[in-house]
Structure 1
Amino acid sequence: MVTNMPSGQNNDNQIASPCVRQCCLDQQDICLGCHRSLDEILAWHTMDQQQKSALLETLQQRAIARKKR
């Protein structure tokens, strides 16, 4: 489920989805908008807070690496 809330914390102290509604997968099934893999997108709703937080850090690094290409 996609919310209208920006990335970060929502009003339930849950980590909001990093989705930026620019969904387009590249050849490696990585979203060009949020930098998540298709598997990460599908698993988001089952992740706990620690897993989501770790993934957000991974996404930041992935975004940086993609910009260097």
Structure 2
Amino acid sequence: MSKETPCVAVCMIDPKTKLCFGCGRTLPEIARWHAMESADRVAIMALLPARMTEAGLAPIAGSPKRI
């Protein structure tokens, strides 16, 4: 079974915002991603574009992957 992920393989955390430069998730979100229910992952993914914009981080080009 594959799970949707916003990962674009740019896994670096911004020290100021504590968000991943590539996807906008926090370290705790990344750590528990595969244990989350699908609805929780979808809900977080819906927040990521606004979260990155508010943090002043430009989204990295690339599409979310299915793993």
**TM-score, normalised relative to structure 2:** 0.70
Q: Map 1:1-69 to 2 at 5 A.
A: 12=1, 14-27=2-15, 28-67=17-56
Q: Give the CA RMSD over aligned residues.
A: 1.8
- Percentage of pairs with the same residue: 32
Q: Which has the larger radius of gyration?
A: 1
More strand by percentage: 2
Aligned residues: 56
5+ long unaligned stretches in structure 2: 58-67
5+ long unaligned stretches in structure 1: 1-11
Runs of 4+ aligned residues of structure 1 deviating over 2 Å after TM superposition are: none
Q: Residue 36 of structure 1: CA displacement?
A: 0.4
Name the residue aligned to 1:9: none
Greater RCO structure (CA 8 Å; 6+ sep) = 2
